[in-house]
Protein backbone atom coordinates (compact mmCIF):
# COMPACT_ATOMS: atom_id res chain seq x y z
CA UNK A 1 0.00 0.00 0.00
CA UNK A 2 2.83 2.38 0.83
CA UNK A 3 4.44 1.73 -2.54
CA UNK A 4 1.20 2.58 -4.35
CA UNK A 5 0.90 5.86 -2.44
CA UNK A 6 4.49 6.79 -3.29
CA UNK A 7 4.03 5.93 -6.97
CA UNK A 8 0.80 7.94 -7.13
CA UNK A 9 2.52 10.83 -5.38
CA UNK A 10 5.37 10.81 -7.89
CA UNK A 11 2.92 10.73 -10.80
CA UNK A 12 1.03 13.70 -9.38
CA UNK A 13 4.30 15.58 -8.90
CA UNK A 14 5.17 14.86 -12.54
CA UNK A 15 1.76 16.17 -13.60
CA UNK A 16 2.41 19.30 -11.54
CA UNK A 17 5.70 19.81 -13.34
CA UNK A 18 4.03 19.39 -16.73
CA UNK A 19 1.34 21.91 -15.78
CA UNK A 20 4.00 24.36 -14.62
CA UNK A 21 5.89 23.95 -17.90
CA UNK A 22 2.68 24.56 -19.86
CA UNK A 23 2.05 27.77 -17.89
CA UNK A 24 5.67 28.86 -18.35
CA UNK A 25 5.47 28.21 -22.10
CA UNK A 26 2.28 30.24 -22.37
CA UNK A 27 3.98 33.01 -20.41
CA UNK A 28 6.99 33.10 -22.70
CA UNK A 29 4.83 33.03 -25.81
CA UNK A 30 2.60 35.77 -24.43
CA UNK A 31 5.36 38.33 -24.07
CA UNK A 32 6.62 37.57 -20.59
CA UNK A 33 3.53 38.16 -18.46
CA UNK A 34 3.07 35.22 -16.09
CA UNK A 35 0.11 33.08 -17.11
CA UNK A 36 -1.55 30.92 -14.46
CA UNK A 37 -4.16 28.44 -15.64
CA UNK A 38 -6.74 27.46 -13.01
CA UNK A 39 -7.47 23.78 -12.62
CA UNK A 40 -11.16 24.27 -13.42
CA UNK A 41 -10.34 25.90 -16.74
CA UNK A 42 -8.00 23.09 -17.76
CA UNK A 43 -10.56 20.49 -16.72
CA UNK A 44 -13.20 22.35 -18.75
CA UNK A 45 -10.92 22.35 -21.80
CA UNK A 46 -10.03 18.66 -21.53
CA UNK A 47 -13.38 17.08 -20.58
CA UNK A 48 -16.29 19.48 -20.05
CA UNK A 49 -18.87 16.71 -19.68
CA UNK A 50 -17.08 15.12 -16.72
CA UNK A 51 -16.94 18.47 -14.93
CA UNK A 52 -20.72 18.88 -15.08
CA UNK A 53 -21.29 15.23 -14.14
CA UNK A 54 -18.95 15.61 -11.16
CA UNK A 55 -20.71 18.78 -10.06
CA UNK A 56 -24.16 17.18 -10.15
CA UNK A 57 -22.90 14.01 -8.45
CA UNK A 58 -21.26 15.94 -5.60
CA UNK A 59 -24.27 18.21 -5.13
CA UNK A 60 -26.76 15.32 -5.05
CA UNK A 61 -24.67 12.84 -3.07
CA UNK A 62 -22.82 14.98 -0.54
CA UNK A 63 -24.53 18.35 -0.69
CA UNK A 64 -24.27 21.77 -2.28
CA UNK A 65 -22.18 23.02 0.65
CA UNK A 66 -19.18 20.96 -0.53
CA UNK A 67 -19.20 22.14 -4.14
CA UNK A 68 -19.51 25.89 -3.71
CA UNK A 69 -16.96 26.83 -1.07
CA UNK A 70 -14.57 23.86 -1.16
CA UNK A 71 -14.41 22.42 -4.68
CA UNK A 72 -14.76 25.83 -6.37
CA UNK A 73 -11.79 27.10 -4.35
CA UNK A 74 -9.72 24.08 -5.40
CA UNK A 75 -10.74 24.49 -9.04
CA UNK A 76 -9.76 28.17 -9.01
CA UNK A 77 -6.22 27.35 -7.82
CA UNK A 78 -3.44 26.83 -10.36
CA UNK A 79 -3.21 23.28 -11.66
CA UNK A 80 0.44 22.83 -10.73
CA UNK A 81 -0.27 23.90 -7.15
CA UNK A 82 -3.14 21.43 -6.69
CA UNK A 83 -1.26 18.50 -8.19
CA UNK A 84 1.93 19.47 -6.35
CA UNK A 85 0.25 19.59 -2.95
CA UNK A 86 -1.55 16.30 -3.55
CA UNK A 87 1.64 14.68 -4.82
CA UNK A 88 3.72 15.77 -1.83
CA UNK A 89 0.97 14.67 0.57
CA UNK A 90 0.59 11.22 -0.98
CA UNK A 91 4.34 10.74 -1.17
CA UNK A 92 4.62 11.71 2.49
CA UNK A 93 1.86 9.26 3.42
CA UNK A 94 3.68 6.49 1.56
CA UNK A 95 6.98 6.94 3.39
CA UNK A 96 8.26 4.02 5.41
CA UNK A 97 8.07 4.85 9.09
CA UNK A 98 11.12 4.48 11.27
CA UNK A 99 10.58 2.36 14.37
CA UNK A 100 10.50 4.42 17.52
CA UNK A 101 12.37 3.12 20.52
CA UNK A 102 10.88 4.16 23.82
CA UNK A 103 13.06 3.95 26.91
CA UNK A 104 11.31 3.94 30.23
CA UNK A 105 13.40 4.59 33.32
CA 1/CA 40 separation, integer angstroms: 30
Averaged over 15-23, what is the pLDDT?
94
Q: Are 94 and 2 in contact (CB under 8 A)?
A: yes
**Residue 34 binned pLDDT confidence (cut-offs 50, 70, 90):** confident
In percent, the amount of the chain with pLDDT more than 90 equals 70
The answer to whether residue 12 scores a pLDDT higher than 80 is: yes
Contact 12, 83 (CB under 8 A): yes
Report the chain's terminal Cα–Cα distance, integer Å.
Answer: 36
* pLDDT band, residue 15 (cuts 50/70/90): very high
Q: Where are the domains of the chain?
A: 1-35+79-96, 38-77
At 33 the pLDDT is 84
Count the residues in the chain: 105
Q: Using a cut of 0.95, tell me whether the model's pTM lies above it.
A: no
Provide the 10 A C-beta neighbour count for residue 9.
Answer: 20
Amino acid sequence: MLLILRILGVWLLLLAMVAAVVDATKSLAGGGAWVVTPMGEQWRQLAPDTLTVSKTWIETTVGKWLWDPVIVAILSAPTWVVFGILGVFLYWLGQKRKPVEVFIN
